[in-house]
Structure 1
């Protein structure tokens, strides 16, 4: 009997507690993911970085996160989420403390790498827990609701982080975040239940065979590319470049720019919930993804023009951008529903890898492109980038978004259910 159909109130309570603890860890991972945007100015001053170096510092998280997606999918499908969430929390704690205490850019890079390594397991573990513990017809809704709550961490990485960093310093914040990571890791050990569902044995033949079947499945790849384009441009823009862009091009104060970022994240959180719920209620995936990706790409045109808009207009655009960005949240369901149910961890991790690979590439690429057209202006020894320079960086991210939109037309419609069929044996 599937786990979501078994047990009484105690079983339901256990599943709820398991999901709540993982969502709390997911909140912290979102905070770490987008924190560089809120303190970009502080990091530039602390380490005297160029745009390319700042992009590399922020992207280090995404490099290791990308590399870990497939191994994480394998681990949650074999060992279960509990053990890797515990270890991940401890590694992220060490990295956050090191990042907060770093005296040099290299030390900060190591700390950021450890943070990325530690939190890289959280999301796939959460998807696995939802997949094996709850009704698959509610998968997108539950993922959206979890992301709605989890995204509070990204909201905190906007205006609240920027304001707090000016009063108690960004270093103290990351030391505190490290302590919280350790506590959540321990909580996962005691409260997370791996749940039911069939798991493959930890056998290399079984594991590589399962991974190969996901990778060979042509229906997997459109979701991966959509995630690459939409999530990647989101991670690059909101994760680093949005705040300095708004301050320099639109001449907003740091508080105004960071509040735009918080509104973006709030819109994204709401979008994840409502888009997932809409998709489940319509019984369709593909048209929702296409419509959201199209609107998201249209909004990039405003940032490419560098037109100065009223403050109310930029707030509205950032909120709308957050809502439409959330369309990529359906890609995990799209990939899961065209692959074997027992390989849900692997299929979602392969899809998730697309967005983080793009984030890892786009953050330093945008910075490198801006350095190529920088006019040499300095202020207190720090490079100053003008509107035309930022346009080049924005173009890199907009191009990725367009790639995701085009790929959305190849996503396979599943009707919000698993449509995978085992290959028929030969004659």
Structure 2
């Protein structure tokens, strides 16, 4: 204990305790990301088992995002009222049930219902984790820990890439998903027993005084809180901006990248999955670096703007220039993923743009905006593929020509360009709380 503190006064939590509590929630977030991108390496099996085309597959994958988006504002308010322990453990329990339903689904309708339950339940993971970060870490480390959070999520996404594809060479996808349901159930129990909402519950001093961000939101009604956060210009802009960035990443790496690469480049599905996983890995690393850099420079807008500009250029090369040599394709995807990681700044940027007691609500609102991107783009790209399909198939699976993909990918890039333009109108916070 610091010699300047009275023995009767507790100290803030040491970092190892903060990371321990954070890590319990982060594992659930890892599982949420696994579920988010798992369909990317199951496209063939799902289309064959449920006898569906690209449009229906896009909708099946997007069921996750439909309920995820719908839950974001309630999740933000519930995070302020319930606290992260209750929120995360309940979410993990429902996610386990949804995963089991998806694994056992006899038809695409039941599979869609399972994805709907999964998306709505894991929707609490990120916002709950942000609340833990806000309570257990010093305020000046919020953006950095948010970057580590994204990195952890990407570990889950990467495990749903090549490792999952290799597992599917030996086991049915249904068996794998049943095992995931069991793991998620175990996580729900651990979260309920071990997570603490605030440091004082373990005998430490709270970083946030009672009645401010830690608890002030509890007295704010759901609608009133949402109305309040949308009274600030940055909320509107940061609601739309990350949707274009994340929508592009998750529509490519989370669904359509593997079939595109494996049919229009000389590579197997496993190698294509490795490439899409590389995009997610580099995005996580970018989020870690740019979150730290933004804190270090005390600048949100400039770092975010530069990152999105570079990412847009790299995505344009990777998606619209056909027949790239492998080293150039790999470089373009690495750069695109890495600089897309700047989207993590959205959460610290938005949190600083509104009063502190609305931290949970603004996190839910921004995460809702983030997920609208893939929610819209995954089925839209699928619909474009089906509309322009020329009738080619292989092993009962539809094959789509290059122009189909380029048209669909063009929609993704247009949204990213809009994000870049809107960033110019955001108001810098200089890393200071409103």
Question: How high is the TM-score relative to the length of structure 1?
Answer: 0.93
Counterpart position of 1:424 = none
The separation in 2 between residues aligned to 1:389 and 1:363, in whole angstroms, is 14
Structure 1 residues 295 and 91, CA, compared in 2 at 3 Å: closer, same or farther? same
1:48 is aligned, of 46, 51, 66, to 51
The separation in 2 between residues aligned to 1:230 and 1:9, in whole angstroms, is 36
2:162 is aligned, of 137, 159, 163, to 159
Structure 1 residues 308 and 387, CA, compared in 2 at 3 Å: closer, same or farther? same
Counterpart position of 1:34 = 37
Confirm or deny that 1:87 pairs with 2:90. yes
Counterpart position of 2:404 = 389
Counterpart position of 2:317 = 302
Counterpart position of 2:281 = 266
Deviation at residue 210 of structure 1 after TM alignment: 2.3
Counterpart position of 1:143 = 146
Counterpart position of 1:231 = 246
The separation in 2 between residues aligned to 1:207 and 1:399, in whole angstroms, is 33
Could you list the per-position Cα deviations for residues 55-102 of structure 1 after superposition, in whole angstroms to 9, with x for gaps in the alignment? Answer: 001100001000000000000011111111111001100111111122
2:331 is aligned, of 304, 308, 316, to 316
The separation in 2 between residues aligned to 1:345 and 1:38, in whole angstroms, is 34
Q: Indicate conservation of the 8 Å contact 1:15/1:193, yes or no.
A: no
The separation in 2 between residues aligned to 1:278 and 1:78, in whole angstroms, is 32
Alignment of 1:81-230 (within 5 A): 81-195=84-198, 196=206, 197=208, 198=211, 199-200=215-216, 202=218, 206-230=221-245
1:363 is aligned, of 378, 382, 388, to 378
Confirm or deny that 1:287 pairs with 2:302. yes
Structure 1 residues 151 and 7, CA, compared in 2 at 3 Å: closer, same or farther? farther
The separation in 2 between residues aligned to 1:207 and 1:390, in whole angstroms, is 41
Deviates further, 158-167 or 210-219:
210-219
The separation in 1 between residues aligned to 2:332 and 2:160, in whole angstroms, is 19
The separation in 2 between residues aligned to 1:224 and 1:202, in whole angstroms, is 23
Give unpaired runs (5+ residues) of structure 1: 421-427
Q: Indicate conservation of the 8 Å contact 1:44/1:382, yes or no.
A: yes
Counterpart position of 2:268 = 253
Q: Indicate conservation of the 8 Å contact 1:200/1:207, yes or no.
A: no
Deviates further, 18-27 or 399-408:
399-408
The separation in 2 between residues aligned to 1:130 and 1:411, in whole angstroms, is 25
SS of the aligned residue for 1:414 comes to: coil
Q: Indicate conservation of the 8 Å contact 2:312/2:336, yes or no.
A: no
The separation in 2 between residues aligned to 1:310 and 1:202, in whole angstroms, is 55
Counterpart position of 1:17 = 20
Question: How high is the TM-score relative to the length of structure 2?
Answer: 0.91
The separation in 2 between residues aligned to 1:13 and 1:394, in whole angstroms, is 43
1:334 is aligned, of 328, 334, 349, to 349
- C-alpha RMSD over aligned residues: 1.8
Counterpart position of 2:431 = 416
Aligned residues: 414
